[in-house]
Amino acid sequence: MTFHDLSVFDHFFFDLDGTLADSKADVLGSIEQAYRSLGFGYDKSRLKIGPLLPEIIASISPQLDENQRALAATTFRAMYAAGKYRNTRLFEGVAEFLDKLQAAGKTLYVATNKPKAATYEVLEKLGIKDRFLFIGTPDCSGEHLPKAEVLKMMVSMFGLDTRQCVMVGDTVADMEAGRLAGMRTLGFLSGYGDESFRECGADGYFVSYRELLS
């Protein structure tokens, strides 16, 4: 797929952290604050933004028991919300790209692992919440769904033809979720994915949203 082929898609699904928004400073800072306040240690080399919070905590602090991990998650969420996402910004060119898609009659969606409350607050803060027809989160249906199931739910909800859908994300998991939902995939190389992301078999890749505006 070349970037010129984007015109064939009518429905664009975007991951949030690492794809639309650079939230690294707020997320990492809140994890540091939470663990310091609890007196827990963690392995910074294993810290990757993108997976569900319980997976992140299990990876960076396998020594914690179930109750301690739950406490770490609760403390992180409280500190993350209290920070009001002050350091979170849109990646360069995102707003203009969303405008371009909407002007072309495309429909926009969010599909993220971030919980609903925080997702809505971040999108409001960034000034782009109203651009999306639907915002899919793990808890948006009252259940706890993985991203692929959230995508499938949205496809079913709006009666979409998956051949007209593309998932835009920055991690291998985003691309896998898109494929499982029957969509094409577009990888953002300047997000939070590691080197393996470049070889994950996405249908297309881009480094900057400026590429998509040309």
Instruction: Find out whether 173 and 192 touch, Cβ atoms under 8 Å.
Output: no
Q: Same structural domain for residues 94 and 162? A: yes
Mean pLDDT, the chain, rounded, equals 94
d(CA 207, CA 77): 30
Q: Same structural domain for residues 39 and 53? A: yes
Identify the helix (H) or strand (E) that includes residue 100: helix 94-103
Give the model confidence (pLDDT) of 144-191 as tens digits. 899 999 999 999 999 999 999 999 999 999 999 999 999 999 999 999
Domain membership of residue 63 as a residue range:
24-82
- For 151, how many CA atoms within 13 A lie in the half-sphere containing its CB? 31
Q: Same structural domain for residues 60 and 107? A: no
For the cut 60, the answer to whether the pLDDT of residue 37 exceeds it is yes
d(CA 147, CA 127): 24
Tally of domains within the chain:
2
Q: Same structural domain for residues 116 and 11? A: yes
Q: Same structural domain for residues 101 and 158? A: yes
Q: Note the pTM of the prediction, 2 decimals.
A: 0.93
As a whole number, mean pLDDT of residues 5-23 equals 95
Q: Same structural domain for residues 132 and 191? A: yes
Here the CATH number for the domain that contains residue 157 is 3.40.50.1000
Which of the listed residues 33, 60, 82 is the one where a domain comes to its end?
82
**What pLDDT is stored for residue 196 in this prediction?**
83
Q: Same structural domain for residues 135 and 70? A: no
Percent of the chain with pLDDT over 70: 98
